[in-house]
């Protein structure tokens, strides 16, 4: 389950110039996919990037700012705050605000102050992550499962937030089916703390399912019309996954940058992160805005599947992760619980095709590993949300030529 598709053919090393001074540590992957860890591709080092272009999509890094939870003067997304305690108690106004947040931005904060035990488990998982990710690479690679739903994956296996550079994060994943099954594909370190991970992930699952239930109530699903919950049956296989990410501290920019722009594959994402770096693409001409970390809050966002199941009513927003300074000056940790519909769920995607939830999942992960050029030719990475008709005016202002950003005049837009 969740094995990487054989159709993925992206090879990062083939893009290096002949004179590149590089060394590679190949990772075991399907033969059709060459995943490599970039050690020193020095030909791609950027000594400087124009900070004045930091608010425009897809290209340069943002201005300098400390990576803490204080207001840093960065352009912030104005997101709604939904109180989990009120929502679970059936507060009508909170339910209406939830519906509005999914309609308008597809991103919102979830106040978890009513769940102190869960917040304590969050700290325990962060401690586990710090210990796990600081192992040597050889030890972590023993947990490689060639899967997008469980096991370890090193940095630089997909495109990054800047053209010509790969991503710069590593991850450890555990699928819900594996956590509740025999666990044979789980990393031994996860199995050793399985009670913690079951309790932690089950609580996130309970909250996102409750959000779906409230959306069903708000929209009046029922009778002959399937509810969102019907696509998340307990007895059905799905690719719902708990993912733990580390964006390592960087000394140079030549290894990779952040997490490329995308929309999430599944239904809802439950994200926990106490550090800056997440950006969402706004509907207004300002473009990229940071999602400020808030202590005791999760960030919830609508995924492609929920957008499609809602008849494109809900917004699945484009987002990415980049350093708040030119380099990642400290390890950045985040935890995401990706709720995904049953594998056999059918919906119409952004290209008008009838596809299953599993097919959309597998195809999208393949596109993650394509080149930036190939990704721009197809709508799947951003779910069709980044096209001009969906975000009018946001492409004006920048172009990329030979890796250099240039301002465009209004006559060029």
Which residue bears the tokens 């709604």? 80
- Cα separation, 357 vs 233, in Å, equals 13
Alpha-carbon distances, residue 68 vs 78, 127, 168, 303 (angstroms): 18, 18, 20, 27
Q: Is the pLDDT of residue 262 over 80?
A: yes
The residue that leads in pLDDT, 32 or 163, is 163
% of the chain beyond a pLDDT of 90:
61
Least confident of 61-65, 178-182, 264-268: 61-65
289 pairs with which residues across the strands? Answer: 280
- Residue ranges at the known binding site: 262, 264, 319, 332
Closest of 46, 36, 39 to residue 400, by C-alpha: 46
406 pairs with which residues across the strands? Answer: 399
The residue that leads in pLDDT, 373 or 27, is 373
Tens digits of residue pLDDT in 199-235:
999 999 999 999 999 999 999 876 667 899 999 999 9
The residue that leads in pLDDT, 47 or 165, is 165
Least confident of 43-52, 57-66, 205-214, 347-356: 43-52
Tens digits of residue pLDDT in 240-259:
999 999 999 998 877 889 99
Closest of 334, 224, 220 to residue 277, by C-alpha: 334
**Residue 406: domain span:** 47-412
- Residue ranges at the known binding site for 2-oxoglutarate: 332
> What pLDDT is recorded for position 259?
93
173 φ, ψ to 5°?
Answer: -125, 155
Quote the mean pLDDT of the chain.
80
With respect to residue 28, please indicate whether it lies within any of the assigned structural domains: no
- Cα separation, 110 vs 98, in Å, equals 10
Residues 62/65/68/73 CA torsion (nearest 10 deg) = -90
> What pLDDT is recorded for position 282?
87
Extract the tokens encoding 298. 């999760």
With respect to residue 118, please indicate whether it lies within any of the assigned structural domains: yes
237: Cα separation from own chain's centroid: 22
- Cα separation, 356 vs 87, in Å, equals 31
With respect to residue 10, please indicate whether it lies within any of the assigned structural domains: no
Least confident of 3-12, 80-89, 241-250, 381-390: 3-12
State mean pLDDT over 44-72: 36
Tens digits of residue pLDDT in 349-378:
999 999 999 999 999 999 888 888 888 888
> What pLDDT is recorded for position 283?
79
Extract the tokens encoding 301. 């966002």
Q: Is the pLDDT of residue 36 over 60?
A: no
pLDDT level of residue 72 (50, 70, 90 thresholds): low
- Cα separation, 68 vs 61, in Å, equals 17
> What pLDDT is recorded for position 114?
98
CATH number of the domain encompassing residue 127: 2.60.120.330
Q: Is the pLDDT of residue 130 over 90?
A: yes
The residue that leads in pLDDT, 338 or 165, is 338
With respect to residue 1, please indicate whether it lies within any of the assigned structural domains: no
- Cα separation, 72 vs 151, in Å, equals 35
> What pLDDT is recorded for position 387?
58
Q: Is the pLDDT of residue 112 over 70?
A: yes
Q: Is the pLDDT of residue 342 over 90?
A: yes
The answer for residues whose C-beta is within 8 angstroms of residue 309's C-beta and 6 or more apart is 228, 231, 267, 341, 345, 347
Instruction: With beta carbons less than 8 A apart as the criterion, state whether 60 and 160 touch.
Output: no
Q: Is the pLDDT of residue 410 over 70?
A: no
Long-range CB contact pairs, 197-200, < 8 A, 24+: 197/125, 197/242, 199/121, 200/118, 200/121, 200/122, 200/124, 200/125, 200/242
> What pLDDT is recorded for position 73?
64
Angle at CA 407, nearest 5°, toward 403 and 408? 115
Q: Is the pLDDT of residue 103 over 80?
A: yes
The answer for residues whose C-beta is within 8 angstroms of residue 379's C-beta and 6 or more apart is 350, 351, 386, 387
With respect to residue 2, please indicate whether it lies within any of the assigned structural domains: no
How many domains, the chain?
1
> What pLDDT is recorded for position 185?
94
- Residue ranges at the known binding site for Fe cation: 262, 264, 319
Alpha-carbon distances, residue 127 vs 132, 133, 148, 172, 195 (angstroms): 9, 10, 23, 14, 15
> What pLDDT is recorded for position 264?
97
> What pLDDT is recorded for position 64?
35
Question: With the C-alpha atoms ordered 102, 103, 108, 110, is the resulting torsion angle positive or negative?
Answer: negative
What's the number of CA atoms in the CB half-sphere (13 Å) around residue 287? 19
């Amino acid at each position: 389950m969740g094995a990487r598709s054989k159709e993925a053919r992206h090879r990062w090393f083939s893009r290096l110039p002949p004179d590149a001074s590089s060394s590679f540590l190949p990772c075991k992957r399907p033969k059709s996919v060459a995943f490599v860890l970039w050690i020193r591709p020095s030909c791609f080092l950027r000594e400087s990037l124009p900070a004045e272009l930091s608010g425009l999509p897809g290209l340069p890094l943002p201005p300098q700012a400390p990576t803490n939870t204080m207001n840093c003067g960065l352009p912030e997304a104005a997101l709604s705050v939904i109180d989990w305690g009120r929502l679970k108690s059936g507060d009508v106004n909170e339910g209406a605000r939830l519906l509005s947040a999914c309609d308008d931005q597809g991103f919102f904060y979830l106040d978890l102050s009513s769940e102190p035990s869960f917040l304590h488990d969050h700290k325990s998982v962060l401690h586990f992550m710090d210990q796990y990710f600081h192992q040597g690479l050889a030890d972590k690679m023993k947990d490689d499962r060639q899967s997008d739903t469980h096991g370890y994956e090193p940095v630089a296996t997909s495109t990054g937030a800047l053209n010509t550079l790969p991503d710069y994060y590593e991850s450890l994943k555990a699928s819900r089916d594996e956590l509740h099954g025999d666990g044979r594909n789980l990393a031994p370190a996860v199995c050793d703390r399985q009670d913690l991970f079951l309790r932690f992930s089950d609580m996130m699952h309970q909250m996102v399912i409750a959000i779906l239930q409230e959306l069903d109530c708000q929209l009046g699903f029922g009778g002959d019309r399937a509810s969102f919950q019907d696509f998340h049956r307990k007895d059905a296989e799905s690719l719902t996954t708990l993912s733990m990410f580390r964006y390592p501290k960087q000394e140079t920019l030549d290894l990779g940058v952040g997490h490329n722009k995308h929309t999430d594959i599944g239904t809802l994402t439950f994200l926990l992160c106490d550090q800056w770096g997440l950006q969402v693409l706004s509907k207004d001409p300002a473009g990229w805005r940071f999602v400020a970390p808030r202590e005791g809050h999760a960030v919830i966002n609508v995924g492609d599947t929920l957008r499609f199941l809602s008849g494109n009513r809900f917004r699945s927003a484009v987002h990415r992760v980049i350093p708040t300074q030119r380099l990642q000056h400290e390890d950045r940790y985040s935890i995401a619980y990706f709720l995904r519909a049953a594998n056999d769920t059918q919906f119409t995607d952004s290209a008008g095709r009838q596809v299953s939830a599993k097919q959309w999942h597998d195809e999208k992960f393949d596109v993650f590993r394509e080149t930036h050029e190939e990704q721009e030719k197809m709508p799947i990475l951003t779910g069709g949300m980044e096209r001009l008709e969906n975000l009018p005016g946001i492409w004006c202002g920048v172009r990329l030529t030979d890796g250099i950003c240039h301002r465009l005049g209004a006559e060029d837009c």
